[in-house]
Amino acid sequence: MKIKKVGVVGCGFMGGGIVQVSAVSGYDVVTTDISDDAVARGIAAIKDRLAKKVKKSEITQQQVDDAMGRIKGSTDINVYRDCDLVIESVYEDMELKKKLFAELDKVCEPKTYFGTNTSCLPVIDMAMATSRPEKVVGIHFFTPPPLMPLVEIMESVKTSKETMDMAVEFGKSVDKSVIVAKDTPGFIVNAQMIPNVLNAVRMVESGIATAEDIDLGAVKGLSHPIGPIALADFFGLDVLYAISAHMYEETKDPMLKPPLMLKRMVMARMLGRKTGKGFYDYTSKG
Ligand SMILES: NC(=O)c1ccc[n+]([C@@H]2O[C@H](COP(=O)([O-])OP(=O)(O)OC[C@H]3O[C@@H](n4cnc5c(N)ncnc54)[C@H](O)[C@@H]3O)[C@@H](O)[C@H]2O)c1
């Protein structure tokens, strides 16, 4: 089946990015969030990002107008009824995601495929909340979706080949490289990245090196574009904590155990860039 109409549940940081890349790639897109304000904020952010692209001559005003014309925002889940594909990008909370998929399953036509943008939760758990687990697949974008050139597709034990083929084609159609993973903790990218970042946090915790030197070592010594500590601050220490705690819970791999220092920083709301302070200080004073 050719995908024409895409739904994106949750027009937040990641969902808004998925709406944007889908609309720019020519899909009709419907998106919902929990309030009219949240929907308006999400769509305004897309408009701002696209306006910046026009200024940099990366896209024309006509392309922006066309893309924005293809996006419809709502707070009503029924807008997903005739979508070919619905991707959820709500909070990383399994109970919320399962409840949402059960509702989508009732609302959507039998043809609709479901994707989840989860960072680490098992796809199969969400799939089993629906009556169509063979049509549920992981479609994991990277942050921020308009800039990061990769999509990771995750196959649960129930995902059909037809669904996998659809998801791979969809990823390519939004101009991303596509990698395919099994439904295992951290899939491909987080399974590599999380132990590396946690190891760097442990090095700070035990006083082996400063955050600055660890990051400089990774950038200058390993040619990484950003060091692991700066990366942790960028995506948020609460997100790092939640992903690693979940991966540790599933695997009991000591490399994935969240360090105590990370837990304490999360308790102190030192979450990185988003709260102005994490391992580094992002306030104007700092
Ligand atoms: N932030 C990242 O770096 C990143 C990277 C890859 C994947 N992810 C995953 O993407 C998902 C979303 O993360 P985010 O960073 O965009 O979070 P976010 O908080 O920016 O966005 C989540 C949005 O979902 C909305 N929402 C919550 N419940 C809803 C419901 N029932 N119906 C409609 N909307 C609802 C919220 O209002 C919010 O706007 C998570 O599963 C996360 O693990 C995040």
pLDDT at 286: 56
Closest residue (by CA) to atom 28 of ligand 1? 90
Pocket test for ligand 1, best of 43, 88, 91, 246 (most atoms within 8 A of CB): 91
Could you tell me which of 159, 140, 156, 254 has the C-alpha nearest to residue 199? 254
Q: Among 1.10.1040.10, 3.40.50.720, 1.20.1290.10, 2.120.10.30, name the CATH number for the domain at 189-274.
A: 1.10.1040.10
Report domain extents, the chain.
5-182, 189-274
Ligand 1 centroid, distance to 12 Cα (angstroms): 5
CB 103 near ligand 1, within 6 Å: no
DSSP character at residue 217: I
Atom 27 in ligand 1: residue holding the nearest Cα: 90
User: For residue 52, how far is its CA from the centre of ligand 1 (angstroms)?
Assistant: 23
Beta-carbon count within 10 A of 95 CB: 8
Integer Cα distance of 193 and 142 in angstroms: 13
Is there an atom of ligand 1 within 6 Å of 89 CB? yes
Tens-binned pLDDT, residue by residue, of the chain (286 aa): 889 999 999 999 999 999 999 999 999 999 999 999 999 999 999 999 999 999 999 999 999 999 999 999 999 999 999 999 999 999 989 999 999 999 999 999 999 999 999 999 999 999 999 999 999 999 999 989 999 999 999 999 999 999 999 999 999 999 999 999 999 999 999 999 999 999 999 999 999 999 999 999 999 999 999 999 999 999 899 999 999 999 999 999 999 999 999 999 999 999 999 999 999 999 976 5
Is the CB of 242 inside a 6 Å radius of any atom of ligand 1? no
Give me the DSSP letters along 103-170.
Answer: HHHHHS-TT-EEEE--SSS-HHHHHTTSS-GGGEEEEEE-SSTTT--EEEEEE-TT--HHHHHHHHHH
- Percent of residues in the chain assigned helix, strand, coil, to nearest 5: 50, 15, 35
Q: Which CATH homologous superfamily contains domain 5-182?
A: NAD(P)-binding Rossmann-like Domain (3.40.50.720)
Neighbours of 179 (CB within 10 A): 16
- pLDDT at res. 57: 96
Closest ligand 1 atom to 90 CA: 24
Burial tier of 137 (Cβ tally within 10 Å: 0-12, 13-18, 19+):
buried
Which residues are catalytically annotated? 119, 140, 152, 190
In this structure, is the dihedral angle defined by the CA atoms of residues 83, 87, 90 and 93, taken in order, positive or negative? positive
Task: Tell me if 117 CB under 6 Å of ligand 1.
Answer: yes
Structure tokens at 137: 């697949």
R_g of the chain, CA atoms, integer Å: 19
DSSP for 247-261? HHHHH--GGGSPPHH
Residue 191 · residue 185 · CB < 8 Å: yes
H or E stretch including 190? helix 189-205
- Tokens standing for residue 277: 């302070």
Crossing angle of the two packed helices 260-267 and 189-205, in degrees rounded to 10 = 90
Confidence at residue 284, expressed as pLDDT on a 0 to 100 scale? 76
